[in-house]
Amino acid sequence: MKKFLKYFTVLFFALAVLSSCNKDDDEPDPFPSNLVKGAYIINYGNYGDGGASISKYDYGTDALTNFYYQQQNPGLELLSNIQYAYEYDDQIFMMGNNPDQIITVDPLFEQTKNGVTDQITKPRACVASGDYLYVSCWGEPDAGWSIMPNSYIAKYNIKTQTVEETISLPGGPEGVEIANGKLYAALNYKDSVAVIDLDDQAISYIVTPAVSSYFLKDNSGNLYVSLVNTYSSPSEDTGLGYINTSTDELTTVYSLPNVSYEYASIMVTDVDQSKIYVITSETDENWNVTGAVSVFDVATKTFESEKLVSGLSGPRGVAVNPNDGNIYVFTGESVTGAGLMKIYDPSGELIDQKTVGASPNMAIFLD
C-alpha cells in the first residue's frame, strides 16, 4: 500500500505538471496574428489641433481601417499629435505632442493605461534597450526655436512606466539609435550627432556638415544618418552620413540634394538591407514643389541616378513591408484632410493607393 501511495503520488504530480503544461499551451494568444498582422500607419494630424489617428492596412486581405485607434478604444480619440511610434516587446509606444505624453498600446492598439506625461516635454523619437526606452525630447524650446537649449533624453522605465532620469542634450535630438553600448542622437538644431555612453552618460559629439534627423543601422552595427537642410539650420551639404560606431567618426558623406526635412520616416532600408530609400523634396525653376524617393545602393555606396519614384506631392514618410519588400510612401498635403499611402513594388511601379488619415508620418508593421 505504501508503495502504491508512493507511485500514486509521483504519478499525481507528474500528471499535474503535464496537465498544467498543457493548460499553458492551450492559453489563447492574446494578440493572434490574424488580428494583428498588418501595416499601421501613424497619422500625425494637425499640429496643436488634434486630428491624429491610426490607419490599419491588412495587406493580406487588402482591408484598410481608418481611425483604428478609435475603433479599438470606443469613446477615446488620440488627442495628441503622434510624432513617432515604436514597437518593442509586444507594446507600441507613441510619442504624443500637444499634449505631450508617451502613449502605450498593445498590438491591438488597445490602451488600458494613461499616457505618461511626467518629465516628457515634446517627445520626438525613441529606441529601446532592455527595460528602458530612450526618448528624445525637445523640452521647452527657445524663443526662436533655433537652438533648443532645453532638450534632453528621457530614460523611461518600461516596466514602472516612469521616467527615471533625464540626460540634458541641447540641440534638439530627433532620431535615436543604440550601437556598441552607446546611444546616438541625431541633433536637428546643431551640426552634430551626440554620442552618449550608456554606462556613465558621458556625451561626445560627431560634427556633421548639416543638422541630422534619423539613423539606420547596417548589418555591421554602423549607422547611416540623414543630413538635412532646415529653416533654422540651412545647409547645402545634405545627404547620408556614415558613422563608424567603433571609432565614432563620420567617415563618409554621400551627397544627395534636397533630403526631406520631414520627421519620423524619411528613410528606410529594404528587406535585405541592400538599399536605402530616401525621400527628397525640391522646388523647380517654376516654383513647383515635387517629391521623390531616391535609392542608395549599400554595396556600391552610391545613389542611383534614377529616382525610384518621382512626382510626389507632399511626401512625408516611407516604409518597407518586411513581408514582400513593397515600398509604402506616405503623402499628405492637408493637415485637416486625408493623406495617401502609395504602394510601390521594388521596381518603383505603383501597385495600389489608399486613403489614410491626416498627415501620415510613418508605418510600423506587426505580425
Partner 1 sequence: MRRFILSGLLVLLFGGLDAQQPSVADTILLHEVTSYAPYKKYQAGAKMESISAEQMQFAQAGGLDNLLMRFTPIYVKSNAGGLSTIRLRGTSPNHTSVNFGGINVNSLTLGHSNMASVPSYLFDGLDLQYGSSSAVNGSGSIGGAIYLGLQNNWTDGLKLKTTITQGSFGEQLYGAKIFAGNGKFESVTRLFYFSKRNDFPFENPYTGDVENRDPVKDRQKGAAVENRGLIQELNYRFEPDEFITSAIWLEQDWHEVQPNMPTNLNLKTLEELDNQHVRIWSEYQNNKRSLNYRAGVGYVHDVQVYDSITEQRIGTDRLISELELKQDFNPGLGYKAGVKYRYIVPDVYAYSEEVIDSEQHLDAYFSAFFTAWQRLKLTLNLRQSFVTNFSVPFTPSLGAEYRLFTNETSILKLSSAIAKSFRVPTFNDRYWGTQGNPNLKAEDGMSYEAGLSYIYCDAGFQSELKLNAFYMDVKNWIEWRNFGVWQARNLMEVVSKGIELQSNTDWQLGATDLNFKLNYNFNPVEAVENISETGITHRQLIYVPKHMGNAFLMATRKQWQIYIDGTYTGSRFSDDFGHELDSYFLTNCGLLRSINYNSQQFKLSFSVQNLFDVDYQNQRYYAMPGRSFRISISSNLNIL
- Interface residues with partner 1 (CB under 8 A) are 46, 48-51, 66-67, 73, 75-76, 79-80, 98-101, 111-115, 117, 121, 140, 143-144, 231, 260, 281-283, 286-287, 289-291, 312-316, 331-340, 355, 357-359
**Shortest gap between Cβ of 345 and partner 1 (angstroms)?**
21
**Shortest gap between Cβ of 164 and partner 1 (angstroms)?**
20
Looking at the Cβ atoms of 4 and 231, the one nearer to partner 1 is 231
Looking at the Cβ atoms of 127 and 279, the one nearer to partner 1 is 279
Looking at the Cβ atoms of 222 and 359, the one nearer to partner 1 is 359
Looking at the Cβ atoms of 30 and 48, the one nearer to partner 1 is 48
**Shortest gap between Cβ of 331 and partner 1 (angstroms)?**
7
Looking at the Cβ atoms of 132 and 263, the one nearer to partner 1 is 263
Looking at the Cβ atoms of 119 and 245, the one nearer to partner 1 is 119
**Shortest gap between Cβ of 8 and partner 1 (angstroms)?**
49
**Shortest gap between Cβ of 231 and partner 1 (angstroms)?**
7
Looking at the Cβ atoms of 256 and 338, the one nearer to partner 1 is 338
SS (H, E, C) the chain: CHHHHHHHHHHHHHHHHHHHHHHHHHCCCCCCHHHHCEEEEEECCCCCCCCCEEEEEECCCCEEECCHHHHHCCCCCCCCEEEEEEEECCEEEEEEECCCEEEEECCCCCCCCCCECCCCCCEEEEEEECCEEEEEECCCCCCCCCCCCCCEEEEEECCCCEEEEEEECCCCEEEEEEECCEEEEEECCCCEEEEEECCCCCEEEEECCCEEEEEEECCCCCEEEEEECCCCCCCCCCEEEEEECCCCEEEEEEECCCECCCCCECEEECCCCCEEEEEEEEECCCCCEEEEEEEEECCCCEECCCCCEEEECCEEEEEECCCCCCEEEEECCCCCCCEEEEEECCCCCEEEEEEECCCEEEEEEEC
The angle subtended at Cα 270 by Cα 265 and Cα 271, nearest 5°, is 120
**Shortest gap between Cβ of 135 and partner 1 (angstroms)?**
16
**Shortest gap between Cβ of 322 and partner 1 (angstroms)?**
27
